[in-house]
Amino acid sequence: MKSLMILPSDFAWVSEKKILGLSVLDRIAKGAKKAGFVPRDGCQEACLILFPNFLFSTDCWKILAAEQIHEGEAVMSPQNPNFILLKSESSKISERVKKSVNAEDLQSFVRSSLKLREINLTPKDFIPVQDQDDIPKIKSWLLKGLVKDTEGFMSKHFERRISLSVTRLLANTFVTPNQMTVLSLVPGIVGAFLFLSPVRAHHVLGAFLFWLHSVLDGCDGEIARLKYKESRFGGLLDFFGDNVVHSAVFFCIALGWKNNSGAPWAPLAGALAISGTILSASFVYWTTMRKKEGEGPLFTSVSEDSSTTRFIDFLARRDFIYLVLLLAIFGKIQWFLLMGAVGAPIYFLVLIGLHLRSGKFS
């Protein structure tokens, strides 16, 4: 376990001014805690010493937490002089470190006292915090870091722009991630009921509300990651809430198709789509969420194998929502039900197959 020592800053606002819900000092402390660093007053163990003149990304915190460091060694970055990771049993080292007045003073002392090793960082890993004029850049950097590389094209380049704008507005309010999850369910459920109507315009509005649910559903995770409020309960609420909305959409399309046109295959198609959705959700919960302990975020991939995870992420992308909109516009919303009737059971079987291949079936 590594310890953390935050040295005094000349900027009082880093502990007072909130940036998207948290001050700079709060962000450093919470990011460090999430990565496994523990606040300490000395350097008797591996210790990260820093001035609060920058912010680390989540990935950078993980890199530093995993860094192996030996007695009498110090790790620094030429790109960011405001932090040093060191290990020393000498109390003199600890006392001298506490008296450092700036990054240059700290680095000069460490260079003359410990064995130095450099670690390279990229612009994605941290952002400087020099004065309050930097706040707009810091906000943009924090929000950009919430976008996942595994997201679909439309989600990353269109939906996220909208959800991040909403998150930016809500970050400094008392709205919690779980409240946002519940709020995002409302347009999805209302949209589902509109598919009961025989009127095409109602289907288009229902598809739009289904899309709106998808957009707002991204805000809960964004707020949770932004304010370090990720939780097991929140992950379960989000996961099962999505599946409730999808099942409601399939059910209402099937019932509306049956009542409005007498389609004999509508109930069967609805049953297949809903059962496939429920079975897949139950399988993912049983294999990856059920045994997850603690208050951290849930890991929802079926396997840790990278190729398997990428394939499942691809299948789970939400770009299909635009197909729903197109089908509604052209009066063919029942086609989405038929796709679900075929695709949802196949997806369930694929999950089983991938999990069997991983050798972790239990």
Same-domain pairing of 54 and 82: yes
Please give the mean pLDDT across all residues of the chain: 87
Residue 284 sits at φ, ψ, to 5 deg, of -65, -40
pLDDT at 1 over 80: no
pLDDT band at 269 (very low <50, low <70, confident <90, very high): very high
Same domain, 153 and 114: no
Tell me whether residue 139 is in a domain.
Answer: no
Reported confidence tier of residue 180, pLDDT bands at 50, 70, 90: very high
Residue 105 lies inside a defined structural domain of this protein:
yes
- What pLDDT score does 276 carry? 95
φ/ψ (deg, to 5) at 210: -65, -45
Spatial distance between the Cα atoms of 108 and 275, rounded to a whole number of angstroms: 65
Give 323-326 contacts, CB < 8 A, sequence gap 24+. 324/207, 324/210, 324/211, 325/204, 325/207, 325/208, 325/211
Lowest mean pLDDT among 71-80, 100-109, 263-272: 100-109
pLDDT: which is higher, 44 or 30 = 30
* 16-25, 91-100, 175-184, 287-296: segment of lowest average pLDDT: 287-296
Verify that 216 and 82 share a domain, yes or no.
Answer: no
CA–CA separation, 336 vs 321, rounded Å?
10
For the chain, the domain total comes to 2
- Average pLDDT value for residue range 61-76: 90
Question: Residue 27 and residue 141: Cα distance in Å, rounded?
Answer: 13
SS3 (DSSP) at 6: strand
Pair (64, 123) in one structural domain: yes
In this prediction, residues 330-351 reach a mean pLDDT of 94
Among 65, 95, 128, the domain boundary falls at 128
Residue 157: its pLDDT value, please? 79
Q: Residue 313 pLDDT more than 60?
A: no
Rounded distance, CA 347 to CA 24, Å?
Answer: 43
Q: Residue 301 pLDDT > 50, yes or no?
A: no
Judge whether 323 and 329 are in contact, CB under 8 Å. Answer: no
CATH code of the domain in which 110 resides: 3.90.550.10
282 against 305, higher pLDDT: 282
Higher pLDDT, 78 or 267: 267
* Domain extent at residue 112: 3-128
Identify the pLDDT of residue 290: 72
The conformational region for residue 54 under phi > 0 = left, psi -120 to 50 = alpha, else beta, is beta
Task: Say what the pLDDT of residue 44 is.
Answer: 65
pLDDT digits (tens, 9 = 90+) for 91-122: 888 888 888 888 888 888 888 888 989 999 98
Q: How confident is the model at residue 300 (pLDDT cuts 50, 70, 90)?
A: very low
What's the pLDDT score for residue 316? Answer: 57
C-alpha distance across the termini of the chain, in Å: 32
The pLDDT of 209-238, averaged and rounded, is: 93
User: Is it the case that residue 306 has pLDDT exceeding 60?
Assistant: no
Average pLDDT over residues 288-301: 59
232-261 and 200-226 helices, crossing angle to 10°: 180
Confidence (pLDDT) at 297: 56
Based on the fold, state whether residues 95 and 205 are members of the same structural domain. Answer: no
* Percentage with pLDDT > 70 across the chain: 90
Q: Which two tokens stand for residue 304?
A: 């840790």
pLDDT-derived band at 314, boundaries 50, 70, 90: low
Task: Please compute the mean of the pLDDT values over residues 15-30 and round it to a whole number.
Answer: 91
Q: What is the pLDDT of residue 361?
A: 53
Please state, in angstroms and rounded to a whole number, the distance separating the CA atoms of residues 223 and 151.
17
Residue 126 pLDDT exceeds 80: yes
Does some domain include residue 192? yes
Residue 305 is predicted with a pLDDT of: 46
3-class DSSP assignment, residue 22:
strand
Looking at the fold, whether 157 and 113 belong to one and the same domain comes out as no
Same structural domain, 172 and 258 = yes
**Is it the case that residue 248 has pLDDT exceeding 60?**
yes
Residues 123 and 207 in one domain: no
Q: How far is CA 41 from CA 44, 51, 97, 102, 305, in A?
A: 9, 14, 11, 18, 40
90 and 185 inside one domain: no
Quick count: other Cβ atoms within 10 Å of Cβ 161? 12
Report the alpha-carbon angle 292-238-338, nearest 5.
Answer: 110
Residues pairing with 85 in the sheet = 48, 75
Domain of 235: which CATH number? 1.20.120.1760
